[in-house]
Structure 1
Amino acid sequence: MMGGVTAFVATIAFGLLSIALASPLRTNNGLSVHLSVADGLLGNSTDGHITVLLAPAGVDPLENQDVTTSPDHFYGKNVFQFHGGDVAFLSGGDGYVQPRTGVWGYPNASLDDVAAGDYTVQAFLTPYERVVRSDGSIVSVKFPCGDGALPVDGPGSLTTPATNITVSGGPQTISLKFTNITAVGDFNGTEIGGCSQGNYVDTEHLKYVKIRSSVLSDFWNRDMYVGANVLLPHGYQTNDTSTRYPVLYHQSHWPADTGAYGYLTDQAFATAWDTGFIPGTNVTAVRETPKMIIVQFRHETAFYDDSYAVNTANIGPYGDALNDELIPYLEKTFNTIADPYARIQDGGSTGGWESIANTIFRPDLFGACFTSYPDSLDFHRHQAIPLYTVDNAYVLPSGENITSIRENINGTLTNVTSVSQENHWELTFGTSSRSQLQWDVWNTVFGAQGYNNYPLEPWDKVTGEIYHEAVEYWKPMDLGMHVATNWDNELHLGQALRGRIFIYVGSWDNYFLNEGVEEFQKTVDAKGGTGWANVTILDGEPHGGNYQRRETWNYLELVASWINDHAPNAVARQSSPMAYKEGGVVSASVGTWDPGMKLEAQWVVNGRPVAKPFVVKQGDEVTYHKREKVQLAVTGPVAALAGVAAARQCQNITVEVEVSARNGVFNQTTPVTNIDVTNFLLNLVQAGKNYSAAVLEGYATVSGKYHLATTYCEPDHGQPSTVQLLTHGIGFDRSYWDLSYNNYNYSYSCEAVDQYGFATFSWDRLGIGMSQHGEAVNEIQAWLEVDALRALTQQLRNGQIPGISKKFNKIVHVGHSFGSQHTYALTAMYPTISDGIALTGFSQNGSAVCGTPEFALGGNFIQANTVAALSAYPNGYLAAGDPSGVQVNFFSPGDFDPAILTLAYNTGEPVTVGELLTFGGETGSLNTFAGPTIIVTGERDTPYCGGNCYALSPSIPQLAFKTIPNAKNPQAFIVPGAGHGLNLEYTHPVTYSTVNNYFVKNGLGPQRARGPHGPR
């Protein structure tokens, strides 16, 4: 059909070729370039592609070829059977003439349009190799040679000298001569296959492997190779085959000789990896590097710098070559764990697509993928192109150009390059999808082979007209469609992949890749329910960075944690030491070890061992009394570290406040026994009855001076202008904002201070934690706590907090759950007291939250003073009776570390009867606050949404902002997959960045640096 037309046009064009070379058909009204070859430089005739670059005078034409920023003019033309005695003519250029045989230019299609002026010009001839593939198809392509498939000036290219010229603006001929051949890179390794896939020399920790692929060699009818860069962990011993390691397959572009995550280019990462210890910082302790092998593939191809790691009609069976030939070879060569749970895929952009595609296509081989800003997962949005529903890839039906690349310029998303511009630029480097650039490789990977033997292109490269018949052949590579159509057939992908796909993208992705992620998420959610795939879309984040914008070591530890969580039971029995701090005393457990292990411990202070090692045994807890960055290193058959940082410019401060509130007087007997507690809760949740109103007898003013326990943190450089006042909810104390577990990985305060430059001020609510306690029914109630929050805010504003040297210009309030209710009530009573608020774990539907069976009964509450750790509380303080009660109210299935659940229960704090009786009344009035307001709630929040916040009607934003009608730039965000305990779940980075980015964008904090866009 369309392929036949293509072949017919090509046949006519080939017949005209000799005429085109001898005498250009177009009248020469402008610049013409004549290219000859130095004697002896080109021995045999060749098909190929000529590229001519004109740069501003004195600028190297190869210095910048980027479509968004290059000052060059690009012109290209194919040549056929070109030999040493020929002269190639380039003149004119017309977008409506087939570029396969004519001149095509960018940004101007024609050489006639080159403006008068001074230029530096250089020309390149990329010679093609004619290949007869095993299916009989014949193509002329350029195979790379360890260069990563450069689009111009790759090894073997003929080049002219860079020459300064003056363009007159009228008819003019410039003669250039090819005098040089670009040499192959200086490889000195001993790998097979010569320069194919490079050839490198091993180092101590980085090993290079290359094999001849049988399946690729058969496909191409020539020897073909694939390689790998294998990064071995500290302590790896080749002969120790009993110690085996999981493997992270890090998909990316052409790696050359580097290792993953900047090994060889990032000295700090390389040093830590080689020594086995991650240096401590002001917020993290020294700790061991994750013990895993990290593999990068080398698979440059004739069409791009890598193959996309899947089987394709045009590039060949690279999926089989990597997964069924190279990986088995690696597993025989290195001490790996050859089980799916220990084979993890990750990568970003191109590597992101490769990582999720391999997990989807081969769930038998890989356990999970951590995929970042992947290329289009669902072709309902191919970048920003609605590929299935529009007729032109360059222009929408409205007439608006479709953008390919956008940038964050001074806080504003700005379109910089259109799809048509980038495609036209690619055409100057090669036709028939041979530019070795981005859009062309997508044609090559996603599409079928055309009748002309080259990729069947989905649209006209010049006009953008979409060929819908060709697009049909893309659908097997539409990953959303592939999962959906194979959901419950013999592949059972719905069951096989559940909980194994983790995707991250920024909402400001430079290439609109967030749109394909969103389409994929809609498709799989429709089949498997919300959360079938763990999708994180961080507001305002651009293209680039690690998964969820995590710091590299934090991310690698996340991967290691996933592997450990899914390993056999022998691994799961062990647990690392855990350190925590109370005042100036650091305490640490020695961890959990299999019986019979001989354990030895040593304190490590500021990264250095102190004192002598000492013998410990299972169940021991040890203490250290100095305020420094402290670790406990415990050594058995393997070493383990626990760390706690006290150096993040934080101080604990006891603050006296004078408060007064109109409290309710309740005819409610203080519970004494656990039976009393259960009776109270059953009354509270009785359907059709407002129990609080039933026992309310009147009101009384409660006033006095109270002591509150607080923690203040600021950046190393000193006090900033903005402080976040953090109020925790029920079940926790102020450590909810600054949890030391896993080296402060779950610390909101660390993120706000270190990454965004805020100060933070957290407090134990009045009556809770280390703050002053009180009578549980008619004293410690919501409104008294709200007034305590008012008093703290005013002291911060006035510079009256002991130990804090200055006043704060701006105060923003962040609450969680009950703390969000307090924040709402504070700003309703005092609309100018805050500069901005974030209500997390919150909804107006929560007015009855403590009267719902899910919360009140699901928490399995008991008398708090029957728990040893809470024995100092008087009667009427209630606490969760077991970890399952905490799980029901705070944690979403599959979104938490089981150790966090245990910690949350062991360190949990109670709630008073008076708080439960007054919960929700704070949010019953209209709030005229006019500052920036954001609401962040977990999708699976049980107390506020019954486990499904998408099912609420009216929705969270619809309801909330009716009661805060004057809010500035209001935003509501539902964290996918998260429960009520937002700060403590795997999805916590989404919560942290959403809140802090919102404050920054609304002028309430320092601007956060944004990364530049990189290759897709």
Structure 2
Amino acid sequence: MKKSNLLSTAAFLFVSVCCTSFLCSCSDTAPSENVGGIELSFPTEHYQEALDGRVIVLISKNIETEPRFQLRDDSKTCQAFGMDVNDWNPGEPLQFDMEAFGYPIKSFDSLPSGEFYVQVLFHKYETFKRADGHVVKLPMDRGEGQQWNRAPGNLYATPQKVTITNGQFPAISITLDQKIPPIAEPEDTKYVKHIKIKSKLLSDFWGRDMYVGAHILLPEGWDTHPDVKYPLAIMHGHFPSDFGGFRTTPPDPNMEPEYSERFDVEGYNVIVQQEAYDFYKTWTGPDFPRVIAIKIQHPTPYYDDSYAVNSEAQGPYGDAITYELIPHIEQQFRGIGEGWSRFVYGGSTGGWESLAVQVKYPKEYGMAFVACPDPIDFRAYCLVNIYEDENAYYQEGPFRKTLVPGHRDYLGNVDASLKDMNYRELVLGTKGRSGQQWDIWEATYSPIDEEGYPKRIWDRLTGKIDKEVASYWKENYDLAYIMKRDWEKHGKDWEHKIHIYCGDMDNYYLNNAVYLAEDMLSETTAPYYNGEVDYGDRAEHCWNGDHENGNHISRLRYHRMFIKKYVDKVDKVAPKDADLKSWRY
């Protein structure tokens, strides 16, 4: 799950008491006849062909950073409006729809008066002719991790100043004269390698060449022990970047220390580099287990990773990773190549994925270490019970409605409602194309609609939950429910393998689903699950079982923590004749 910054509870409570939020009041305002217009164009030097995509107009009070980097869930956000575009030709004027949906204010004529900066960005889509017969237009990841404001090939304009007076937006003309450059492929080093393979399964599904890959960290002595085969430590999560947590040199002495607002820590960038260097020394030291560690790369047209399972909207990513990519890595880099010798770990998205592949491929993976997972029981889909609640945005009573919180800090201070978070995504993309958190959950868990896009679990404008979609989610992706349903069949394959860690003040309330999953696991018999569930006192998102260090440190130590945990427990899942010695040199 992706992170937003924190504010106080006071503003949230004020909005909650008002029956409907400020956003709702904006929707009741008729468009003003005084609203001007925004005429857009892009030059032929960037593209010669017609383009499909999403135009995003951003309005900010300052340009300390560009407006395209200021859109967020909390009250520090800039304003944004979005509009779908098809067949936009170079040099052709395009009129932006001044009645387009906006966040956090819904309509142009409700904007406050004053001087502002306007920036426009175009998020480029591609056309996919899928094997199921659907033709869909989606933004393919281009190495940036499905970040609309950084995606190579996207067009944007230099911010320009405007004055808004009494709801009147001026008539302006903007040329999207900037194009985000491509991202260079990472280079191999002694320890870190990179692979990318064409997936037949995914290429067949999407109707074009599709690839999966991995960043690979080789153990010390891999090159001098050519006959040794190694366990595979598989870290799941959204990782568009290189193996950045591994650094062979000390921190840059010339780097200017930066303050981390999230952790309230000075010089956090220096801390990150020091942790990466310390991991290198630990990894190559005499006492660390010798395994091959990998970070899987599986971006999709919906997100920076696929959630590592098969789905109707995204295709057979689970099978592509398990039966194509991992065997390829094991063959090329001398992995043991047996289910017990592959273990998975990760946090947030990676936490859900680690549990999901262990549940859906019980014999193919030997252990799962699951930190702060995305909802693993949909009775607690954050703060929504999709089976019993009628509306995701409000707790409704006979005389008032209270907004459902979406994000908090470790003291419970709320800075965004669930509705805020969904509205922001709706501005960034319709039909599940925002590249953000709530959309990827639908792209993963939902059946497809008549156009071939994921069905909504709830109406994005009203919050009304679709119970048929919820039922589909339950049978296919509610991990706690699936384990309970299938324990008699797969319990022996899951024994000793499930280990879950979560802060009890997770920013997204993910601990609530862990409580429910723990209740289910504690009742298992024949066999008992024989794993672990642990909670961090007042720990926020990404807590991973480290009771000794703050979250700003522990979240940087996934490899060194979970690899050791696996090695300490591997004898419980390995067959009696397994080689547990040669790779421990």
> Do these two structures clear the TM 0.5 threshold for a shared fold by scoring above it?
yes
Distance (Å, rounded) in 1 between the aligned partners of 2:317 and 2:451: 22
Aligned match for 1:563, one of 543, 564, 570: 570
* Contact 1:74-1:107 at 8 Å conserved across structures: yes
Shift of 1:54: 1.1
Report the equivalent of 2:82.
Answer: 76
Preserved contact between residue 33 and residue 89 of structure 1 (Cα < 8 Å) = yes
- Work out the CA distance in 1 between the residues paired with 2:57 and 2:283: 51
Q: Would you say 1:90 and 2:96 are equivalent positions?
A: yes
Stretch of structure 1 that moved more, 434-443 or 462-471: 462-471
AA of the residue aligned to 1:448 = P
- Corresponding residue SS for 2:174: strand
Secondary structure at the counterpart of residue 325 of structure 1: helix
Residue 215 of structure 2 corresponds to residue 218 of structure 1: no
Contact 1:48 1:125 in 2 (8 A): yes
User: Distance in 1 between the 2:165 and 2:543 partners?
Assistant: 47
Written as runs of structure 1 = structure 2, the 5 A alignment for 1:800-811 is none
Aligned to 2:62: 57
Q: Secondary structure at the match of 1:541?
A: coil
1:203 maps to amino acid: T
Aligned counterparts of 1:568 and 1:320: Cα–Cα separation in 2: 24
Change (3 A) 1:533 1:92: farther
Equivalent residues of 1:130, 1:139 under 8 A apart: yes
- Shift in alpha-carbon separation, 1:141–1:573, aligned structure 2, 3 A: closer
2 CA distance for matches of 1:336 and 1:273? 22
CA distance in 2, matches of 1:537, 1:153: 35
Sort the Cα spacing of 1:149 and 1:69 in 2 relative to 1 into closer, same or farther, 3 A: same
Aligned partner of 2:231 among 246, 268, 275: 246
Q: Distance in 2 between matches of 1:566 and 1:377?
A: 23
In the alignment, is the contact (CA less than 8 A) between 1:28 and 1:92 conserved in 2?
no
Alignment match of 1:405 (pick from 384, 402, 407): 407
Amino acid at match of 1:352: G
1:236 equivalent in alignment to 2:222: yes
CA distance in 2, matches of 1:311, 1:573: 32
* TM-score, length-scaled by structure 1: 0.49
Deviation at 1:405, TM superposition (A): 0.6
**Deviation, structure 1 residue 638:** 6.9
Correspondent of 1:509 among 506, 514, 518: 506
Post-superposition Cα deviations, 1:278-307, rounded to whole Å, max 9, x if no partner, equal 8xxxxxxx8622211111011111101111
Q: Give the corresponding residue for 1:495.
A: 492
Q: Does structure 2 conserve the Cα–Cα contact (< 8 Å) formed by 1:31 and 1:111?
A: no
2:347 aligned residue: 348
Q: Which amino acid aligns with 2:190?
A: E
Mapping of residues 417-432 of structure 1, within 5 Å: 417-432=416-431
Tell whether the 8 Å contact from 1:126 to 1:158 is kept in structure 2 after alignment: yes
From the superposition, tell whether residues 386 and 568 of structure 1 become closer, same or farther in structure 2 (CA, over 3 Å).
closer
- Report SS of the residue matched to 2:336: coil
- Match for residue 66 of structure 1 among 65, 72, 89: 72
Change (3 A) 1:260 1:58: closer
Deviation, 1:538, is 2.7
How well do the aligned residues superpose, as a CA RMSD in angstroms? 2.6
After superposition, the C-alpha distances for 1:580-620 in whole angstroms (9 at most, x for unaligned) are xxxxxxxxxxxxxx9xxxxxxxxxxxxxxxxxxxxxxxxxx
Q: CA deviation at 1:31?
A: 5.0
Other-structure match for 1:33: 38
User: How big is the shift at 1:549?
Assistant: 4.7
SS in structure 1 opposite 2:52?
A: strand
CA separation of 1:520/1:263 partners in 2, compared to 1, >3 Å: closer, same or farther? farther
Q: Does 1:257 align with 2:262?
A: no
CA positional deviation for 1:532 = 5.1
Q: How far has the Cα of 1:523 moved from its partner?
A: 3.1
Matching residue of 1:688: none
Do 2:349 and 2:374's aligned partners in 1 also have CA atoms closer than 8 Å? yes
Q: Is the contact between residue 69 and residue 149 of structure 2 (CA under 8 Å) also seen in structure 1?
A: no
Contact 1:443/1:456 (8 A) holds in 2: yes
- Once the two structures are TM-superposed, the CA of residue 533 in structure 1 deviates from its matched residue by 4.5
Please list the CA deviations of residues 50-98 of structure 1 after superposition, one character each: whole Å capped at 9, or x if unmatched: 00111213332133333226431111111122222433333543xxxxx
2: CA distance, partners of 1:117 / 1:507: 43
Where does 1:186-205 land on structure 2 (aligned, <5 Å)?
187=184, 199-205=185-191
Alignment pair present for 1:360 and 2:355? no
Q: Is the 8 A contact 2:245 2:276 kept in 1?
A: no
**Distance of 2:234 and 2:122 partners within structure 1:** 36
Report the CA distance between 1:181 and its aligned residue.
Answer: 2.1
Deviation of 1:425 (Å)? 0.6
Q: 2:233·2:563 contact (CA, 8 Å) conserved in 1?
A: no
What is the CA-CA distance between 1:566 and the residue it aligns to? 4.2
Alignment match, 2:534: 536
Q: Which amino acid aligns with 2:567?
A: A
- Partners of 2:409 and 2:464 lie apart in 1 by 27
Deviation for aligned residue 1:110: 0.7
Asked if the contact 1:309/1:358 (under 8 Å) is kept, the reply is yes
TM-score normalized with structure 2 length: 0.83
Partners of 2:347 and 2:207 in 1: how far apart?
Answer: 32
Deviations 1:101-150 (A, max 9, x none): xx111110111122111222110111211211011111001111111111
Q: Offset of 1:39 from its aligned partner?
A: 4.7
Q: What do residues 940-967 of structure 1 show as CA deviations (whole Å, max 9, x unaligned)?
A: xxxxxxxxxxxxxxxxxxxxxxxxxxxx
Partners of 2:214 and 2:573 lie apart in 1 by: 26
Counterpart of 1:363, as a letter, is P
Instruction: Measure, in 2, the Cα distance between the counterparts of 1:350 and 1:638.
Output: 30
Q: Which residue does 2:447 correspond to in 1?
A: 448
What is the aligned partner in structure 1 of residue 7 from structure 2? none
Larger Rg: 1
Q: Which amino acid aligns with 2:225?
A: D
1:486 matched to 2:464? The reply is no
Distance 2:576 2:207 in 1: 48
2:21 aligns with none
* Contact 1:147–1:154 (8 Å) recurs in 2: yes
- Whether the 8 Å CA contact 1:525–1:532 is kept in 2: the answer is no
Where structure 2 has 5 or more consecutive residues not aligned to the other structure, the ranges are: 1-29, 250-268, 549-553
For 1:638 and 1:311, locate their aligned partners in 2 and report how far apart those are by CA, in whole Å. 35
Greater percentage in strand:
1
1:524 deviation in Å?
3.6
Mapped to 1, the partners of 2:290 and 2:154 lie a distance apart of: 43
Superposed counterparts of 1:555-954, under 5 Å: 555-564=562-571, 566-567=573-574
Q: Distance in 1 between matches of 2:491 and 2:248?
A: 37
SS of aligned partner of 1:370 = strand
Q: Deviations over 1:184-209 (max 9, x none)?
A: 11x2xxxxxxxxxxx32101100001
Structure 1 contact 404–422 (Cα < 8 Å) conserved: yes
CA distance in 1, matches of 2:497, 2:580: 22
Unaligned runs of 5+ in 1: 1-24, 94-102, 188-198, 279-285, 575-593, 595-636, 640-1016
Residue correspondence of structure 1 range 328-339 to structure 2 within 5 A: 328-339=327-338
Deviates more, 1:152-161 or 1:550-559: 550-559
2:165 equivalent in structure 1: 168
User: Once the two structures are superposed, what CA deviation does each residue of 1:798-821 show, in whole Å capped at 9, x if it has no partner?
Assistant: xxxxxxxxxxxxxxxxxxxxxxxx
Question: Alignment partner of 1:473: what SS?
Answer: helix
Q: Are residues 1:132 and 2:139 paired?
A: no
Q: Which amino acid aligns with 2:37?
A: S
* 1:46 and 2:51 correspond: yes
Q: Given the alignment of the two structures, is residue 177 of structure 1 paired with residue 175 of structure 2, yes or no? A: yes
CA contact (8 A) 1:233 1:273 kept: no
What is the SS of the residue equivalent to 2:480?
A: helix
The answer for the alignment partner of 2:372 in structure 1 is: 373
Quickly say closer, same or farther: Cα 1:526–1:262, change in 2 above 3 A: farther
Q: Deviations over 1:689-739 (max 9, x none)?
A: xxxxxxxxxxxxxxxxxxxxxxxxxxxxxxxxxxxxxxxxxxxxxxxxxxx
Closer, same or farther: CA 472–568 of 1 in aligned 2, 3 Å: closer
Does residue 206 (structure 1) correspond to residue 181 (structure 2)? The answer is no
Equivalent residues of 1:376, 1:383 under 8 A apart: yes
Question: Measured at CA, do residues 318 and 277 of structure 1 come closer, stay the same or move farther in structure 2, by a change above 3 Å?
Answer: closer
